[in-house]
Amino acid sequence: MCAKKIAVLTSGGDAPGMNAAVRAVVRTAISFGMEVYGVKRGYNGLLNGDVERMYLRSVSNIIQHGGTALFTARSPEFNTPEGVERAAAHCREMGIDGVVVIGGDGSFRGARDLTNAGIPCIGVPGTIDNDISSSEYTIGYDTAMNTAMDMIDRIRDTTESHDRCSVVEVMGRRCGDIALNTGIATGAIAVLVPEVQFDFEKDLLDRIRYAQKTGKRHFIVVVAEGVGHTQEICDRIQKETGIESRVTILGHVQRGGSPTLRDRVVASQMGYHAVELLRDGKSNRVVVMKGERIVDYDITEALEMPRIFDERLYQIAHDLSR
Ligand code: F6P
């Protein structure tokens, strides 16, 4: 059945570009003749009826802002069979017959459960981590990488002035994509990611020592959050090489800020596609990027896809950082 009255929510960690996706959902729905509602604070808003009608002007002046105008949350209460049933019952009471969920894998599991409870859902990948296996790209990833790159460039200035080593931790709990890309872009001597086992002597100390012999005097090491032990890594570098070393944990600065052009455009494409699916009576689909094209997969199948780490890019990072 084609959806006529749809809702949109953002869930999990926020990501720059989520607002562009919300805007696209709202404006596409209106241009397809649907009624559209904004749900506040992720699935929590569906549980407690925090839902409001959205109009063309409701999403004015948000495309350039980071964060999410709908607010977001991780909702343990929704993640129970009773929670899902209550959210579905609220949707039925309000006459909502389609929901666009912008978030990560956890949010998609919720979308699948809500679909199974009778409310057709479509997922849109929004997370800075780029850790959604089914999609080559997630909304927020480009902005986060550019923010991290800019911050590391600044760290590099002071690292160079002091002949130091800076160990910079970037976000990415299960996924080293931000670390790998920013490591290449900032000329890091080493990049540590959760996907690849590393040998402290060979992959870190030997590289630093070799570069020192060729005249290099300052070093950047980029560590993905998921690797952990960033302070210990830094202390050990200082102890074993004698190079004064400092840790910087970039943290949530990477989650904020004005989205890049790429994030705004991809978010707009994905939001549009999501509403087209609901208009065409589809449900339990996730909108993804595949070879620069926007396509969609069954959510349940998408959640089971294995993540593919870019080994070649890792090799390039390795070979160039000398
Ligand atoms: O959104 C993904 C992410 O930023 C991860 O990189 C990070 O581990 C996590 O969220 C942090 O979550 P929170 O903001 O809840 O501390």
The model's pLDDT over 66-107, given as tens digits with 9 standing for 90+, comes to 999 999 999 999 999 999 999 999 999 999 999 999 999 999
Decide whether any atom of ligand 1 lies within 6 Å of the 255 Cβ: yes
Q: Contact 140/15 with Cβ under 8 angstroms?
A: yes
Which whole number is the average pLDDT over 256-264? 98
CATH code for residues 5-140+259-304: 3.40.50.450
Q: Where in the chain is the domain with CATH 3.40.50.460?
A: 141-255
Residue to mutate, 173, 227, 252, ligand 1, most ligand atoms under 8 Å from C-beta: 173
* Closest ligand 1 atom number to CA of residue 254: 4
Q: Does any ligand 1 atom lie closer than 6 A to the CB of residue 218?
A: no
Rounded Cα gap, residues 36 and 23, in angstroms: 11
In this prediction, residue 321 carries a pLDDT of 87
Helix runs in 95-205, H state only:
105-116, 141-161, 177-185
CA 224 to chain centre: 14
Which residue spans of the chain are classified as CATH 3.40.50.450?
A: 5-140+259-304
105 lines ligand 1 (CB under 6 A): no
CB of 87 within 8 A of CB of 51? no
At the fourth CATH level, which superfamily is domain 141-255?
Phosphofructokinase domain (3.40.50.460)
Q: Whole-number mean pLDDT of the chain?
A: 97
Model confidence over 121-130: pLDDT tens digits? 999 999 999 9
> Does residue 21 register a pLDDT over 80?
yes
Q: How far apart are CA 187 and CA 175, in angstroms?
A: 20
CA of 207 to the centre of ligand 1 (A): 31
Per-residue pLDDT band for 322 (boundaries 50, 70, 90) equals confident
Helix ranges restricted to H, the chain: 18-31, 43-47, 81-94, 105-116, 141-161, 177-185, 206-213, 230-241, 261-279, 299-304, 311-320
Q: Is-contact 98 283, C-beta < 8 A?
A: yes
Residue 129 is among the residues annotated as catalytic for this protein? yes
Please write the tens of the pLDDT for every residue from 32-48: 999 999 999 999 999 99
Q: Which residues of 125-140 are buried (b: 16+ CB within 10 A; e: fewer)?
A: bbbbbbbbebbbbbbb
Assess whether the C-beta atom of 173 lies below 6 angstroms from ligand 1: yes
Pocket test for ligand 1, best of 171, 175, 249 (most atoms within 8 A of CB): 171
Query: Is pLDDT at 27 greater than 80 in this prediction?
Result: yes
